[in-house]
Structure 1
Amino acid sequence: MTHYEPTFASLSQHEVPNWFQDAKFGIFSHWTVGSVPAFAPVGKDPFTLAREEGEEKAFTHTPYAEWYWNSISIPGSPAAEHHAKVWGNCEYETFVNIFLEAAKGWDASRWEQILAASGAKYCVMVTKHHDGVLMWPSETPNPVHGEKWSSQRDLVQECADAARNAGLRFGVYYSGGIDWTFQGLGITSWGTLFGAIPQDDTYHAYAEAHWHELIRKYQPDVLWNDIGYPRFGEGAAQLMADFYNGNPEGVVNDRFDFIGVMQGTSHADYGTPEYSTESVGPKKMFEVTRGIGTSFGYTQEEGEHSYMPIAELITMFVNIVADGGNLLLNYGAMPGGEIPWAQQMRLLAMGQWLSINGDAIYGSRPHEVSKLSTSEGQVVRLTKGADGAIYAMVCGRSSTANLVIDGLPAGAVHLLGYKNQLKRDGNTVVLPVRPDDTPVYTLRIG
């Protein structure tokens, strides 16, 4: 077994394990204090806002409810105006107290049921977001607020148990780069975002202690850091080496050192495009991460009217997988841990679709010809299945039972969910029924 050293050359020898490449679908859990005020303006995701209206707008009008503390620290922002109107002079600490009290009543078994039914293969839980609140009773409490800034109920262990009982692997998210109890409130640009990363010895030791504690206590398979790492990444390589030496099947994301990964001087197993389905490079594993709406954390402003429709969600997922990536789809839980019903519906719809079409997804790899189209213009995405077959996923509904796909690979054709072989004449396949009840249906070839 390979022994890893804390160097780029050594860490780069780590291969992305098959389980992660095979999984395709993971669940992200944002259960944060921001769910108490539960406000953010609904609109475009922050990356689209930055491109179209400037980076300052992406922060002043961020749709991320989990950023509430920062948002109300920006004079004139929609969140600041909302806070003054609804909450007056209420301090953020009040929300922390309400949240931790509500979390005492959480029913972990409900998460287990939803995770099991979603079809996901791994789950990543937020253990500390940018507000610094810890979701477990840490051995290293917050130096500013002490134990009142952490849950005395071990929510991380209970989520890990729920995920594993549901058959999923478990990962931990930790905001290594930002902790507003140390510094950084009032972020309004990418420059002030990265400038807000504490670089002092105290925070470096604090974050290091937490990461090592999370690995030791919960034995995660995924380390999902965010924004960056203190002291310009110092110690991250040692952390990764220790993690791999204890769990060679583990994976580490690219957010310990974005810039170093892009420059080829820092290690990561995979990239994490956010609210983007673009891969991060032709040879780099990637995981698209996004919310069901445009917020990760729960907000009362979102709902059925603003969540991604199920048909679009499944189609997006198919395109990500056909391009060689995973989808880490987030739900934002309410203060007591409840997952909004409209979000549950989408997770359950994913599970239902995967129960029929999973052979085209789990364990698949991109086909050398990844995209075709029907004579009516529906996009067809191809994958190579773990069973050696080729799978053609048709995105959209045909107006006829005679499906014509130019360039369809040779071989016998079956429709997933239907037991009999389909009639085929060259590029024309005769469907037994027109599959109107699904946004994407799958042909197995071979």
Structure 2
Amino acid sequence: MVASWWSRARLGIFVHWTPASVPGWAPPYVAPDELPAEGRRAPLAWTAYAEWYENALRFPGSPVSAHHRATYGTRPYTAFGGDFNDALDSWDPAAWARGFRAAGARYAVLVTKHHDGFCLWPSEVANPHRTGWHTVRDVVGEFAEAVRAEGMRFGVHYSGGLDWTFDDRPIGTAADTVSAVPRGGYPAYADAQVRELIRRYHPDILWNDIAWPASRADVQRLIAYYRFTVPHGVVNDRLYPYTPMWRALRLPGVGALYDRRERRTVARGEGFVPRKPPYYDFRTPEFARCTGPDPYEITRGIDHSFGYNRNSPPEAFLGRDALEALVRETAAEGGNVLLNVGPRGEDATIPAEQRLRLEWLAELARRDGQSQTMSKDRPKFA
């Protein structure tokens, strides 16, 4: 049974903030069946998820590649890591936390390492492929302290299933995603980093993404360590253990069958709901509603991306009525909403379009009497 504090939370804030937030660009969302032929063959190269920028660069014909050539020339993606670190001088985690709390959030989950492998803490577990590929400032620790100071719970997101510093093959389809889970030294690396996060920060939520690169027994041991260290903690539903069968998805015929099934699911408008792994506390439908008896958390962006996308058109953003309905209806059904913000990489601020939605939620919380820390003024976000 999921922890009672999580069941009562109703609203959490997700934060995707990576070196991809510096270019902060992806093409607007296009329905899969409306993509050009090249996009239909490799839809993840045309994704509206701006945090997948580095992967989209590996497809010469993708919109991201065209944008990058026109804007940055031959500058490598790794250069954005330095820009990201430089911008941290102006970051104010306390202001973020105050704004999240005012919006009615009861917890906040920070992406500590996304698929590009960049760590938001100075990890003692060295990356053997990209030296210094992390923040100098302890972003995870400072964020955790700020969030907890506002009375919220703190969670860590970690991309266990993908790390492009260990396997940089282009990922164009769902089958490519599963077959690209790194092997070799990566399982030990990921296990050591997640244990470091648990040991250092005692996160209330352990939020893994995509899958886990090791066996079911390894997953069980990792969760046991987490539950021993953080007895009140909760685990999401994406710690799906590695199986050698995933390698078969690299075969053209097998991969095509898998992708065809995935395309049918998206075309029916069902969104993305992870398969159930052996161990989990709550489900995480992505840009989708959820059915069934399990505790669940709808996770989605304010627009069609998670990372900051300066190219999102106005119509991509949730309207006020839709946002309020999402939060209220999900709460009435007993679920949570994990609403994402994607800060800018160049100055460590939350974009105006996203700040406005948080302010709407603050007004909703004030009307519903849910916020205990609201001042009479509108919340200020950095």
Fold shared by both chains (TM-score > 0.5)? yes
Correspondence 1:247 to 2:230 = yes
- Deviation, 1:355, is 2.3
Which residue of the other structure, out of 283, 289, 300, is the alignment partner of 1:277?
289
Which residue of the other structure, out of 301, 306, 309, is the alignment partner of 1:299?
309
Distance in 1 separating the partners of 2:12 and 2:119: 22
Distance in 1 separating the partners of 2:119 and 2:359: 29
Deviations 1:56-101 (A, max 9, x none): 4531210011000001111211111111221111111111111122
Percent of pairs identical after alignment? 40
- Deviation, 1:302, is 2.1
Contact 2:240 2:277 in 1 (8 A): no
Correspondence 1:322 to 2:332 = yes
Distance in 1 separating the partners of 2:275 and 2:316: 37
- Deviation, 1:241, is 1.0
Contact 2:183 2:213 in 1 (8 A): yes
- Matched residue SS, 1:299: coil
Deviations 1:305-336 (A, max 9, x none): 43111111111222222222110000000113
The 1:274–1:138 alpha-carbon spacing in structure 2 relative to 1, beyond 3 Å, is: same
Report the structure, 1 or 2, having the larger helix content: 2
Report the structure, 1 or 2, having the larger strand content: 1
Which residue of the other structure, out of 48, 52, 57, is the alignment partner of 1:72?
57
Contact 1:223 1:252 in 2 (8 A): yes
> What residue number does 2:10 align with?
24
The 1:55–1:250 alpha-carbon spacing in structure 2 relative to 1, beyond 3 Å, is: farther
Distance in 1 separating the partners of 2:34 and 2:163: 26
Unaligned ranges ≥5, structure 1: 1-14, 363-446
Contact 2:212 2:241 in 1 (8 A): no
Distance in 1 separating the partners of 2:136 and 2:204: 24
Correspondence 1:198 to 2:182 = yes
- Deviation, 1:114, is 1.0
> What residue number does 2:258 align with?
none
> What residue number does 1:385 align with?
none
Which residue of the other structure, out of 341, 351, 362, is the alignment partner of 1:331?
341
The TM-score with structure 1 as length reference comes to: 0.72
- Deviation, 1:125, is 0.2
Which is higher, the Rg of structure 1 or of structure 2?
Answer: 1
The TM-score with structure 2 as length reference comes to: 0.84
Q: Bigger relative contact order, structure 1 or 2, given CA contacts below 8 A and separation 6+? A: 2
- Deviation, 1:42, is 1.2
> What residue number does 1:111 align with?
96
> What residue number does 1:155 align with?
139
Deviations 1:381-427 (A, max 9, x none): xxxxxxxxxxxxxxxxxxxxxxxxxxxxxxxxxxxxxxxxxxxxxxx
Amino acid at match of 2:354: Q
Correspondence 1:175 to 2:159 = yes
- Matched residue SS, 1:242: helix
125-134 or 245-254: bigger deviation: 245-254
- Matched residue SS, 2:210: coil
Which residue of the other structure, out of 187, 191, 194, is the alignment partner of 1:208?
191
Distance in 1 separating the partners of 2:88 and 2:169: 25
Distance in 2 separating the partners of 1:130 and 1:79: 17
Amino acid at match of 2:364: W
The 1:133–1:244 alpha-carbon spacing in structure 2 relative to 1, beyond 3 Å, is: same
Contact 2:215 2:241 in 1 (8 A): no
Amino acid at match of 1:343: Q
Amino acid at match of 2:235: V
Q: What's the RMSD between the two structures over aligned residues?
A: 2.4
Correspondence 1:289 to 2:299 = yes
> What residue number does 2:266 align with?
none
1:13-412 matches, within 5 Å, as 15-44=1-30, 49=32, 56=41, 58-147=43-132, 149-200=133-184, 202-257=185-240, 266-279=278-291, 281=292, 283-302=293-312, 304-335=314-345, 336-358=347-369
> What residue number does 2:250 align with?
none
Distance in 1 separating the partners of 2:5 and 2:71: 47
Unaligned ranges ≥5, structure 2: 244-272, 373-382
Contact 1:104 1:153 in 2 (8 A): no
Contact 1:115 1:166 in 2 (8 A): no
Distance in 2 separating the partners of 1:295 and 1:350: 19
Contact 1:222 1:252 in 2 (8 A): yes
- Matched residue SS, 2:91: coil
- Matched residue SS, 1:104: helix
350-359 or 219-228: bigger deviation: 350-359
Contact 2:148 2:154 in 1 (8 A): yes
Distance in 1 separating the partners of 2:174 and 2:141: 34
The 1:141–1:162 alpha-carbon spacing in structure 2 relative to 1, beyond 3 Å, is: same
Distance in 1 separating the partners of 2:336 and 2:59: 35
Distance in 2 separating the partners of 1:62 and 1:85: 19
Contact 1:69 1:185 in 2 (8 A): no
Amino acid at match of 2:282: Y
Amino acid at match of 1:308: L
Distance in 2 separating the partners of 1:262 and 1:146: 33
Contact 2:112 2:158 in 1 (8 A): yes
Distance in 1 separating the partners of 2:339 and 2:364: 15
Distance in 2 separating the partners of 1:70 and 1:321: 35
Deviations 1:323-370 (A, max 9, x none): 2211000000011320012211111211221222256x99xxxxxxxx
- Deviation, 1:118, is 1.1
